[in-house]
Amino acid sequence: MSRREVCALACTAFVMSSGNLGAQEVTKNNQDATSVALPPVVVAAPKQLISRTSNATPAGADKSQSGGTSSTSKKEGDGDASSARHGLPGSAGVFTLGQIDMVGGTAITNDAMWTFSKATLDQALALAPGVAASNSGGTRNEQLIFVRGFDRWQVPISIDGIPIYRPADNRIDFASFLTANISEVQIAKGYTSVLNGPGGMGGWINMVTKKPTQPFEGEVEGGLMFGGDGQYEGYRTYASFGTRQRGYYAQVSGSVLDLDGWYLSDDFKPTAVENGGERDHSYKSNWEANAKIGITPNATDDYSINYIRMNNEKGAPYHITDPEATQRYWDWPDTTQQNLYWLSHTKLSPASFVETKVYYTTFSDNLMSYDNPAQTTQTTPKAFDSIYDDWAAGGSLLYGVDLTPWDTLKSTFLYRRDNHTESQGYNIKGVSCGKTTPCFWEPDQTDLEDTYSVAFENTIHATSRFDIVSGISYDWRKLYKAQDFTTDAGLFEYNKKDTDALNWQTALVYRYNDTGNVHFSVSDRTRFPTIFERFSSRFGGATSNPGLLPERAVNYEVGWANKFAPNSQMSAAVFYSDVTNIIQSVPFIYDGTAYTQSQNVGDGNYYGIEYSVDYGVNDSLLVGGNVTWIRRDVNNPTNASFELTGLPEVKGIAYVTYKITDAWSITPNVEFASDRWTVNTAGTVYYETGAFALANFQTEYDLNDKTSLIFNARNLTDENYILTDGYPEQGRNFYAGMRTKF
């Protein structure tokens, strides 16, 4: 495949034929029959389409991407010949052991994240059609995402297929994940393979780490961030070193993102809380370390041990207008996550294989609440320290077999144990101990729960151009312990309730020629409520609901994709989700006192359209983009004013890439979104805000084949806009960096 034939752009959509492959022929190559017949939309750096080496096939590229059948031959000890499965020139080695099973969806390459200066996961996800991000978070300063209307609770996240599910509340901050060591981000939308495990109600997000492809290789990158008037904001840096030898591979890497604080638009009007300029308490310090070692004893088997540690420290900007009585003066001085996991792929016979996963993950963080804006005292009941100390352990066993040359069956069993321990220090109204820190500490409270899943997925090649993929799973959960503490009742245990769910899905794919296809899928999936949703008192402001029912969504999709000319491609998808038992926090009166409570508020319908196109005008000019239109209609019989917040009805990106010389390219682009619903701090007033059109500019210059300089400007017009009530977004900002590979 030539580089001009590669599917890529800031938002492109080119889906190609997969050929007829056996179960043993790849580890998790999305272009083979064992995963699916429908490869993902690929979001990549636009300059890859107009690379100066236009006729070379990338080393290790899977030739099946041009419509042929993937070769079954691999070099001895190669173990992962499909690591460059997208065939993208200059892309990092993809750790295919860490990929999840997908039918279609989207994959964002490492080069795309570099080109558009997307240093954190939330920023990278915003490049994809069907995915919307909220940049500055809110009270908790947590960056959120929506996949076709589904939020972080309904769309699981994983690293190399290992679920990163926080045992208590699953409040994942997508900005805490750095992208420098990610080879690609897989995004399953609507149809999420049952083989990946429970919870994929609206999709699945999987970060695939890098894997070395050369006897010795390395990468170093770094750069500086600046505000709209050139003020220093922070820096980021990354380094990796790896080796791939006959029989084994190894890699170590580390990355840092250190942000002193970001700057508001010059059009922001100061308030009594925020005086403008550098956003108060917007600092952030993230660092990450990764290590990987693998054994490849033959051409088909791969065994890998991986370790990842992430440390995060961040502030939380204040609501710009709330009075002190309702203001939250919060800070997270230390959040740590560690992941130790084993992955393997073993060929058992010419027609069968087995894969295993075993993991142990720890989460710990400390939330500190103060009673003054300077964050120096904790003397009133408003102040507290909240400490989480959690761990999760589990694994899975997957077996795949070619029942016939045209029929492949895969089955899996998954198990996970979640343990959550929390403690809290606070002050009791009317009681003083003469300290500037909390006077009273609760005893530790523990929650313990097991989750299981059994799943089967079958792929039938009805003809050489028509595939049928179907799956079914049964998930169940058993709660062993659910503790809480109040000053009145002391330490106590909630009533425990177990739950289960049956899930199923089907996809039909017809390839009407070597470059075009149409597909239809339906997926019926469930999401179990978190411990937080069922039991958390939320610092005394909420009451429990042990009987909270699981959410369920039936997702439908019809899609089309085709390459209509050299260097040009187009795709479209229409999707519809029927959602029942939607879980939301709503006002609740108990014994005459106002609380909030997580409730099944009603049913809803999410529906919309995705469209992507890129067009090569000539060898030097490429234009393209994508747009998503989505609606969420909810029937909530208990609260007529209730609205689902955070998601714009329309979002997208448009770009032009022009190659001035072989080494120098420019990519002006525009990100845009319509209004979205938000709600005031009291949760009583819903209104629409957040429409924007941001003019951005990127340019990259290759000093040589291995080293490049990049400059990226975002929000050039310094637009002042708000996505969440009381939390304005970043103004004009710049990034200048360099990357070298060896």
Q: What is the CATH number of the domain that holds 120?
A: 2.40.170.20
Q: Which helix (H) or strand (E) holds 176?
A: none
Question: How much is the mean pLDDT over the chain?
Answer: 86
> What is the number of domains present in the chain?
1
What is the domain range of residue 92? 3-741
- CA dist 137 and 119 (Å) reads 16
489 CB burial (10 A radius; 0-12, 13-18, 19+): exposed
Range with lowest mean pLDDT among 18-22, 209-213, 725-729, 731-735: 18-22
Q: Report pLDDT digits (tens) over 408-464.
A: 999 999 999 999 999 999 887 767 676 777 888 999 999 999 999 999 999 999 998
pLDDT bucket at 34, cuts 50 / 70 / 90: very low
* pLDDT tens-place string over residues 508-566: 999 999 888 999 999 999 999 988 888 876 655 667 777 888 999 999 999 998 888 77
Task: Tell me if 528 sits within 8 A of 499, measured CB to CB.
Answer: yes
What is the pLDDT, as a whole number, of residue 82?
Answer: 35
Q: What is the pLDDT of residue 430?
A: 64
Greater confidence (445 vs 75) lies with 445
pLDDT average, residue stretch 697-716: 96
Contact 227, 212 (CB under 8 A): no
Structure tokens at 551: 């959410």
pLDDT digits (tens, 9 = 90+) for 312-348: 999 999 999 999 888 999 999 999 999 999 999 999 9
Mean pLDDT for the stretch of residues 372-394: 92
Mean pLDDT of 49-54: 52
Answer whether residue 290 shows pLDDT above 90.
Answer: yes
Q: Which pTM was predicted?
A: 0.89
Residue listed under structure tokens 């750069």 = 223
Q: Which two tokens stand for residue 499?
A: 């739950």
Q: How many residues does the chain have?
A: 742
How would you class 533 by CB atoms within 10 Å of its CB: exposed for 0-12, middle for 13-18, buried for 19 or more? buried
Locus of tokens 């040359």: 405
Assess contact for 557 and 190: CB atoms under 8 A: yes
- Residue 640, pLDDT > 70, answer no
Percent of the chain scoring above 70 in pLDDT: 85
